[in-house]
A and B are shown apart, each in its own frame.
Chain A
């Protein structure tokens, strides 16, 4: 382990917090999805750090499944962005504040 595990976790937490701020503060749907990507990558970094700390491959396996999950999530959510853009001609979340179809 080249650095203490705590430093990896601190870095991961900082990146996760940045992604969370992006999700909570931005109003553009695409920017919200980018924030989700940042958060998922931060979690992956902590998994890889833990994997290196215990010299165990399970953490890296989790990152592989995280990547598969992210691919599925991104394809679905971007298709929904296209759908919403087609419906309201906007990607601003404030135009989707009603549930009435």
Chain B
């Protein structure tokens, strides 16, 4: 029962945080709200029996990809005038962030402390890292290799696209 309640709470938080994220005029605020939404999504993943995916949602999405977004936004040095004219007011934006964060922390407390449906806060059916790794590297070994190729190509492509400008005339000789 408590797990079901937590699911709906986390779902509402995810929708609210996403709604706030897509209406921000400042991309930095949008990224912070999106991190909030990813925390709620990680809780949903955990409740649906994917604890490893919940951890990776936080590590990869919230920890790596969103920080990459923040780095790029900082690198671009967007002037305030180049930001879109706001769809909503920009003051007091930390209030919903704090509210959402407190609600998420409350959900996690509920899940770990008071849950009666599940034993020790773990959903009844869940994929243990052992099952997960076995399935990933046994049945999907080829796909893992292809994904690693894909990441390599992406790294090379990002390096190529993001290289510093070269003089125009040297391109003809290359």
Contacts and interface: CB of A to CB of B under 8 A. Distances in A.
Interface stretch (B70-78, B88-96, B97-105): B70-78
Interface residues of B, number: 66
A52 B48 contact: yes
A1 B27 CA distance: 37
Interface in B126-158: 127, 131-132, 135-136, 139-140, 143, 147, 150-151, 153-155, 157-158
A74 B65 contact: yes
B37 A2 contact: no
Interface centre among B4, B61, B157 (most CB of A within 10 A): B61
B22 A21 contact: yes
A99 interface: no
Interface of A: 1-3, 7-8, 11, 14-15, 18-19, 21-22, 26-28, 30-31, 33-35, 37-38, 41, 44-45, 48-49, 51-52, 55, 57-58, 60-61, 63-65, 67-76, 78-83, 85-86, 90-92
Interface of B: 3-4, 7-8, 11, 14-15, 18-19, 21-22, 24, 27, 30-31, 34, 37-38, 41, 44-45, 47-50, 52-53, 56-57, 60-61, 64-65, 68-69, 72-73, 75-76, 78, 82-84, 117, 123, 125, 127, 131-132, 135-136, 139-140, 143, 147, 150-151, 153-155, 157-159, 161-162, 165
20 contacts: A3-B7, A7-B8, A15-B15, A19-B18, A31-B27, A38-B21, A38-B22, A57-B135, A61-B143, A63-B45, A63-B50, A63-B53, A68-B147, A74-B65, A75-B68, A75-B154, A76-B157, A79-B159, A91-B76, A91-B78
